[in-house]
A = this chain, B = another copy of it.
Amino acid sequence: MQGISGQSVNISIIGASGYTGAELLRLLSFHPFANIVAVTSRQFEGKAVKEVFPHLSKMKFENLMFENYKKEKIAEKSDVIFLCLPHKTAYPIVKELYETKKELKIIDFSADFRFKNPEIYEKTYRVSHTAKKLFEKVAYGLPEINRDKIKEKNIIANPGCYPTSVILGLYPAKSAGLIDTSFPVIADSKSGVTGAGRKSTIDFTFCEVNESFRAYAVEGHRHAPEIAEKLELKSVRFTPHLVPMNRGILSTIYFATKSSREELIEVYKEYYKNEYFIRLKENPPKTSDVAGTNFCDIYVTKDENTGLGIVVSVIDNIGKGASGQAIQNMNIICGFPENSGLNFPGNWI
Protein backbone atom coordinates (compact mmCIF):
# COMPACT_ATOMS: atom_id res chain seq x y z
CA MET A 1 0.00 0.00 0.00
CA GLN A 2 1.45 3.35 -0.95
CA GLY A 3 2.15 5.78 1.83
CA ILE A 4 2.55 3.08 4.43
CA SER A 5 6.13 2.38 5.47
CA GLY A 6 6.36 -1.37 5.25
CA GLN A 7 4.82 -3.39 8.07
CA SER A 8 4.56 -0.50 10.46
CA VAL A 9 2.87 2.81 9.98
CA ASN A 10 4.22 6.22 10.94
CA ILE A 11 1.64 8.15 12.90
CA SER A 12 1.26 11.72 14.07
CA ILE A 13 -1.32 12.90 16.56
CA ILE A 14 -2.32 16.55 16.29
CA GLY A 15 -3.80 17.92 19.51
CA ALA A 16 -2.66 15.00 21.63
CA SER A 17 -3.13 16.47 25.08
CA GLY A 18 -6.85 15.81 25.50
CA TYR A 19 -8.69 12.61 26.39
CA THR A 20 -8.91 11.28 22.83
CA GLY A 21 -5.22 11.97 22.32
CA ALA A 22 -4.33 10.24 25.56
CA GLU A 23 -6.48 7.28 24.53
CA LEU A 24 -4.74 7.05 21.16
CA LEU A 25 -1.38 7.06 22.95
CA ARG A 26 -2.58 4.35 25.31
CA LEU A 27 -3.98 2.12 22.57
CA LEU A 28 -1.10 2.61 20.18
CA SER A 29 1.35 1.66 22.97
CA PHE A 30 0.47 -1.95 22.33
CA HIS A 31 -0.60 -1.81 18.68
CA PRO A 32 1.67 -4.22 16.84
CA PHE A 33 2.20 -2.01 13.78
CA ALA A 34 2.10 1.51 15.17
CA ASN A 35 5.04 3.85 15.20
CA ILE A 36 4.17 7.26 16.62
CA VAL A 37 6.49 9.85 15.15
CA ALA A 38 4.96 13.07 16.45
CA VAL A 39 2.54 14.38 19.02
CA THR A 40 1.60 18.02 18.98
CA SER A 41 0.28 20.35 21.65
CA ARG A 42 0.83 24.06 22.09
CA GLN A 43 0.35 23.79 25.83
CA PHE A 44 2.80 20.96 26.42
CA GLU A 45 5.46 21.74 23.81
CA GLY A 46 8.82 20.47 25.01
CA LYS A 47 7.44 18.06 27.53
CA ALA A 48 7.74 14.30 27.27
CA VAL A 49 4.70 12.06 27.00
CA LYS A 50 5.46 10.54 30.40
CA GLU A 51 5.52 13.95 32.05
CA VAL A 52 2.13 14.92 30.72
CA PHE A 53 0.65 11.45 31.15
CA PRO A 54 2.36 9.69 34.07
CA HIS A 55 0.36 6.51 33.40
CA LEU A 56 2.34 6.10 30.17
CA SER A 57 5.73 5.85 31.89
CA LYS A 58 7.69 2.76 30.80
CA MET A 59 5.65 2.59 27.60
CA LYS A 60 7.12 2.58 24.11
CA PHE A 61 6.46 6.26 23.44
CA GLU A 62 7.12 7.63 26.94
CA ASN A 63 10.01 9.84 25.85
CA LEU A 64 8.42 11.26 22.72
CA MET A 65 8.36 15.06 23.08
CA PHE A 66 5.27 17.15 22.47
CA GLU A 67 6.04 19.59 19.68
CA ASN A 68 4.34 22.54 18.10
CA TYR A 69 2.43 21.70 14.93
CA LYS A 70 4.23 22.55 11.66
CA LYS A 71 2.52 21.24 8.57
CA GLU A 72 5.57 20.35 6.44
CA LYS A 73 7.39 18.62 9.25
CA ILE A 74 4.39 16.61 10.30
CA ALA A 75 3.30 15.74 6.78
CA GLU A 76 6.74 14.64 5.75
CA LYS A 77 7.28 12.08 8.44
CA SER A 78 3.74 10.69 8.66
CA ASP A 79 1.73 8.05 6.87
CA VAL A 80 -1.36 8.53 9.00
CA ILE A 81 -2.45 11.58 10.96
CA PHE A 82 -4.99 11.61 13.77
CA LEU A 83 -6.47 15.07 14.14
CA CYS A 84 -7.90 15.62 17.62
CA LEU A 85 -9.05 19.19 17.24
CA PRO A 86 -12.44 20.86 17.73
CA HIS A 87 -14.75 21.54 14.80
CA LYS A 88 -13.93 24.64 12.76
CA THR A 89 -10.29 24.43 13.89
CA ALA A 90 -9.90 21.09 12.15
CA TYR A 91 -10.85 21.65 8.52
CA PRO A 92 -8.17 24.24 7.67
CA ILE A 93 -5.55 21.85 9.05
CA VAL A 94 -7.00 18.95 7.09
CA LYS A 95 -6.89 21.12 4.01
CA GLU A 96 -3.30 22.24 4.36
CA LEU A 97 -2.08 18.77 5.26
CA TYR A 98 -3.86 17.29 2.27
CA GLU A 99 -2.39 19.93 -0.01
CA THR A 100 1.08 19.39 1.42
CA LYS A 101 1.05 15.64 0.88
CA LYS A 102 -1.77 14.12 -1.15
CA GLU A 103 -1.12 10.53 -0.14
CA LEU A 104 -1.55 11.21 3.57
CA LYS A 105 -4.35 9.41 5.39
CA ILE A 106 -6.05 11.84 7.70
CA ILE A 107 -8.43 10.68 10.39
CA ASP A 108 -10.34 13.70 11.63
CA PHE A 109 -12.05 13.51 15.02
CA SER A 110 -14.01 16.72 14.50
CA ALA A 111 -17.44 17.17 12.94
CA ASP A 112 -16.07 19.14 10.01
CA PHE A 113 -16.35 16.42 7.38
CA ARG A 114 -19.01 14.17 8.86
CA PHE A 115 -21.95 15.37 6.80
CA LYS A 116 -22.55 14.42 3.21
CA ASN A 117 -24.13 17.80 2.84
CA PRO A 118 -21.88 20.68 4.00
CA GLU A 119 -24.88 22.97 4.28
CA ILE A 120 -26.28 20.89 7.10
CA TYR A 121 -22.88 21.12 8.77
CA GLU A 122 -22.85 24.89 8.39
CA LYS A 123 -26.36 25.24 9.75
CA THR A 124 -25.79 22.83 12.62
CA TYR A 125 -22.44 24.17 13.72
CA ARG A 126 -23.12 27.80 12.73
CA VAL A 127 -19.89 28.27 10.85
CA SER A 128 -19.03 28.54 7.20
CA HIS A 129 -16.86 25.83 5.69
CA THR A 130 -14.15 26.92 3.27
CA ALA A 131 -12.86 23.50 2.31
CA LYS A 132 -15.97 22.08 0.69
CA LYS A 133 -14.08 20.74 -2.30
CA LEU A 134 -12.48 18.16 -0.05
CA PHE A 135 -15.79 16.44 0.68
CA GLU A 136 -15.30 14.13 -2.30
CA LYS A 137 -12.17 12.78 -0.64
CA VAL A 138 -14.00 11.95 2.58
CA ALA A 139 -15.53 8.77 3.99
CA TYR A 140 -17.68 8.67 7.12
CA GLY A 141 -15.65 6.44 9.39
CA LEU A 142 -18.19 4.01 10.76
CA PRO A 143 -16.75 0.75 9.43
CA GLU A 144 -19.76 -1.43 10.14
CA ILE A 145 -21.86 0.59 7.68
CA ASN A 146 -19.24 2.17 5.43
CA ARG A 147 -16.18 -0.06 5.23
CA ASP A 148 -15.75 0.04 1.47
CA LYS A 149 -15.68 3.79 1.27
CA ILE A 150 -13.19 3.98 4.13
CA LYS A 151 -10.76 1.88 2.13
CA GLU A 152 -10.88 4.25 -0.83
CA LYS A 153 -10.71 7.69 0.69
CA ASN A 154 -7.94 9.84 2.11
CA ILE A 155 -9.86 11.69 4.72
CA ILE A 156 -11.86 9.80 7.30
CA ALA A 157 -14.46 11.70 9.28
CA ASN A 158 -14.45 9.85 12.56
CA PRO A 159 -18.08 9.71 13.78
CA GLY A 160 -19.46 11.41 16.88
CA CYS A 161 -19.68 9.28 20.00
CA TYR A 162 -23.46 9.48 20.41
CA PRO A 163 -24.08 8.89 16.68
CA THR A 164 -21.89 5.77 16.81
CA SER A 165 -24.01 4.27 19.57
CA VAL A 166 -27.33 5.24 17.97
CA ILE A 167 -26.54 4.44 14.34
CA LEU A 168 -25.12 1.00 15.20
CA GLY A 169 -28.24 0.42 17.28
CA LEU A 170 -30.63 1.27 14.47
CA TYR A 171 -28.90 0.50 11.19
CA PRO A 172 -29.96 -3.12 10.71
CA ALA A 173 -33.61 -2.31 11.41
CA LYS A 174 -33.58 0.79 9.25
CA SER A 175 -31.80 -0.74 6.28
CA ALA A 176 -34.15 -3.74 6.40
CA GLY A 177 -37.13 -1.39 6.28
CA LEU A 178 -38.46 -2.50 9.65
CA ILE A 179 -38.94 0.97 11.12
CA ASP A 180 -42.36 2.58 10.77
CA THR A 181 -41.24 6.15 10.17
CA SER A 182 -44.69 7.63 10.59
CA PHE A 183 -43.71 7.85 14.25
CA PRO A 184 -40.53 9.56 15.39
CA VAL A 185 -37.45 7.56 16.28
CA ILE A 186 -36.31 8.43 19.80
CA ALA A 187 -32.77 8.02 21.11
CA ASP A 188 -32.42 8.65 24.82
CA SER A 189 -28.66 8.60 25.41
CA LYS A 190 -26.60 8.73 28.56
CA SER A 191 -22.91 9.50 28.55
CA GLY A 192 -19.97 9.44 30.92
CA VAL A 193 -18.10 12.66 31.49
CA THR A 194 -15.03 12.06 29.30
CA GLY A 195 -17.41 12.81 26.42
CA ALA A 196 -17.20 16.48 27.34
CA GLY A 197 -13.47 16.53 26.70
CA ARG A 198 -10.60 17.66 28.88
CA LYS A 199 -11.64 21.14 29.81
CA SER A 200 -12.05 23.07 32.99
CA THR A 201 -15.49 24.57 33.36
CA ILE A 202 -17.51 24.77 36.55
CA ASP A 203 -20.18 22.50 35.02
CA PHE A 204 -17.73 19.62 34.75
CA THR A 205 -15.94 19.95 38.07
CA PHE A 206 -16.11 16.90 40.25
CA CYS A 207 -18.53 18.27 42.83
CA GLU A 208 -21.14 19.47 40.37
CA VAL A 209 -21.23 16.25 38.35
CA ASN A 210 -20.81 13.73 41.14
CA GLU A 211 -24.02 12.43 42.77
CA SER A 212 -26.09 14.16 40.13
CA PHE A 213 -27.75 13.16 36.87
CA ARG A 214 -28.99 15.59 34.29
CA ALA A 215 -30.34 15.96 30.79
CA TYR A 216 -28.74 18.63 28.64
CA ALA A 217 -29.20 20.19 25.21
CA VAL A 218 -32.84 19.20 25.52
CA GLU A 219 -33.74 21.91 23.01
CA GLY A 220 -31.45 20.40 20.40
CA HIS A 221 -28.01 18.79 20.12
CA ARG A 222 -25.64 18.80 17.15
CA HIS A 223 -25.50 15.04 16.97
CA ALA A 224 -29.19 14.74 16.03
CA PRO A 225 -28.68 15.86 12.40
CA GLU A 226 -25.64 13.55 12.10
CA ILE A 227 -27.72 10.61 13.27
CA ALA A 228 -30.64 11.50 11.02
CA GLU A 229 -28.49 11.90 7.90
CA LYS A 230 -26.70 8.57 8.30
CA LEU A 231 -29.95 6.73 8.96
CA GLU A 232 -31.77 8.58 6.20
CA LEU A 233 -34.43 9.78 8.60
CA LYS A 234 -36.07 13.17 8.24
CA SER A 235 -35.40 13.80 11.91
CA VAL A 236 -34.71 11.97 15.09
CA ARG A 237 -35.51 12.86 18.70
CA PHE A 238 -32.21 12.73 20.56
CA THR A 239 -31.82 13.60 24.25
CA PRO A 240 -28.36 13.38 25.82
CA HIS A 241 -27.78 12.98 29.56
CA LEU A 242 -24.72 13.19 31.78
CA VAL A 243 -23.90 10.19 34.02
CA PRO A 244 -21.50 10.60 36.95
CA MET A 245 -18.89 8.18 35.61
CA ASN A 246 -15.88 8.56 33.33
CA ARG A 247 -16.42 6.31 30.33
CA GLY A 248 -19.38 4.92 28.50
CA ILE A 249 -22.49 5.73 26.51
CA LEU A 250 -25.72 3.83 26.77
CA SER A 251 -28.42 4.64 24.24
CA THR A 252 -31.98 3.49 24.75
CA ILE A 253 -33.66 3.64 21.39
CA TYR A 254 -37.39 3.47 20.61
CA PHE A 255 -39.01 3.04 17.19
CA ALA A 256 -42.39 1.91 15.95
CA THR A 257 -42.31 -1.39 14.14
CA LYS A 258 -44.58 -4.14 12.92
CA SER A 259 -41.82 -6.71 13.28
CA SER A 260 -41.71 -9.20 16.11
CA ARG A 261 -38.91 -9.51 18.63
CA GLU A 262 -37.65 -12.62 16.82
CA GLU A 263 -37.59 -10.95 13.42
CA LEU A 264 -35.71 -7.99 14.80
CA ILE A 265 -33.12 -10.18 16.48
CA GLU A 266 -32.69 -12.23 13.32
CA VAL A 267 -32.06 -9.14 11.21
CA TYR A 268 -29.46 -7.83 13.65
CA LYS A 269 -27.71 -11.20 13.81
CA GLU A 270 -27.51 -11.40 10.08
CA TYR A 271 -26.36 -7.83 9.62
CA TYR A 272 -23.60 -8.07 12.19
CA LYS A 273 -22.59 -11.69 11.70
CA ASN A 274 -19.04 -10.86 10.58
CA GLU A 275 -18.44 -7.85 12.77
CA TYR A 276 -15.82 -8.46 15.45
CA PHE A 277 -16.66 -5.34 17.42
CA ILE A 278 -20.41 -5.86 17.60
CA ARG A 279 -21.58 -8.21 20.35
CA LEU A 280 -25.31 -8.97 20.29
CA LYS A 281 -26.44 -9.77 23.82
CA GLU A 282 -29.16 -11.89 25.33
CA ASN A 283 -29.35 -9.56 28.34
CA PRO A 284 -29.21 -5.79 28.43
CA PRO A 285 -25.54 -4.74 28.50
CA LYS A 286 -23.93 -2.28 30.88
CA THR A 287 -21.35 0.34 30.04
CA SER A 288 -18.69 -1.33 32.17
CA ASP A 289 -18.79 -4.33 29.79
CA VAL A 290 -17.20 -2.19 27.08
CA ALA A 291 -15.33 0.55 28.96
CA GLY A 292 -11.76 0.81 27.67
CA THR A 293 -12.52 -1.14 24.49
CA ASN A 294 -13.72 -0.79 20.91
CA PHE A 295 -16.74 -3.04 21.38
CA CYS A 296 -20.37 -2.09 20.90
CA ASP A 297 -22.77 -4.35 22.79
CA ILE A 298 -26.35 -4.37 21.55
CA TYR A 299 -29.60 -5.72 22.94
CA VAL A 300 -32.74 -5.78 20.79
CA THR A 301 -36.30 -6.47 21.85
CA LYS A 302 -39.93 -5.57 21.23
CA ASP A 303 -42.47 -4.11 23.62
CA GLU A 304 -45.68 -5.80 22.49
CA ASN A 305 -47.86 -3.55 24.65
CA THR A 306 -46.87 -0.43 22.78
CA GLY A 307 -45.60 -1.81 19.47
CA LEU A 308 -42.21 -0.31 20.01
CA GLY A 309 -38.90 -1.85 19.03
CA ILE A 310 -36.37 -1.23 21.78
CA VAL A 311 -32.61 -1.24 21.36
CA VAL A 312 -30.06 -0.75 24.12
CA SER A 313 -26.54 -0.15 22.85
CA VAL A 314 -23.39 0.57 24.81
CA ILE A 315 -19.95 1.79 23.77
CA ASP A 316 -17.02 3.51 25.39
CA ASN A 317 -17.37 7.09 24.19
CA ILE A 318 -13.61 7.54 23.83
CA GLY A 319 -13.14 3.95 22.59
CA LYS A 320 -15.56 2.92 19.85
CA GLY A 321 -16.93 6.47 20.15
CA ALA A 322 -13.60 8.10 19.28
CA SER A 323 -10.03 6.78 19.53
CA GLY A 324 -10.75 3.07 19.24
CA GLN A 325 -12.83 3.62 16.14
CA ALA A 326 -10.12 5.86 14.70
CA ILE A 327 -7.62 3.02 15.07
CA GLN A 328 -10.12 0.59 13.56
CA ASN A 329 -10.30 2.99 10.60
CA MET A 330 -6.51 3.14 10.44
CA ASN A 331 -6.34 -0.66 10.44
CA ILE A 332 -8.75 -0.77 7.49
CA ILE A 333 -6.86 1.90 5.57
CA CYS A 334 -3.51 0.23 6.17
CA GLY A 335 -4.66 -3.27 5.41
CA PHE A 336 -3.99 -4.53 8.92
CA PRO A 337 -6.35 -7.02 10.55
CA GLU A 338 -9.23 -4.80 11.59
CA ASN A 339 -8.87 -5.62 15.27
CA SER A 340 -5.09 -5.15 15.48
CA GLY A 341 -4.30 -3.58 18.83
CA LEU A 342 -7.98 -3.61 19.72
CA ASN A 343 -8.58 -7.27 20.55
CA PHE A 344 -8.47 -7.03 24.32
CA PRO A 345 -11.22 -6.97 26.92
CA GLY A 346 -12.22 -4.12 29.21
CA ASN A 347 -11.40 -3.98 32.90
CA TRP A 348 -15.06 -4.47 33.84
CA ILE A 349 -14.55 -3.41 37.48
Contact = CB atoms under 8 A, between A and B. Distances in A.
Q: Which of A202, A252, A299 has the most CB of B within 10 A?
A: A252
User: Sorted from nearest, which 5 A-B pairs have the closest CB atoms?
Assistant: A212-B288, A184-B306, A214-B286, A235-B305, A206-B209
A329 B310 CA distance: 37
Interface string A203-246: 01111111111111011000010000000000111010101111
Interface stretch (A51-59, A77-85, A89-97, A120-128): A51-59
A29 B345 contact: yes
B244 A252 contact: no
14 contacts: A53-B348, A54-B297, A55-B288, A55-B290, A190-B190, A199-B205, A204-B206, A205-B205, A211-B211, A212-B245, A212-B248, A213-B286, A214-B287, A244-B244
A38 to B, nearest CB: 19
Given A19-B207, A58-B276, A348 B213 contact: no
How many identical chains are in the complex? 4
Interface size class of A (residues with CB under 8 A): 35 or more
Q: Which of A184, A212, A250, A291 has the most CB of B within 10 A?
A: A212
Contact of A210 (B29, B215, B246, B344): B246
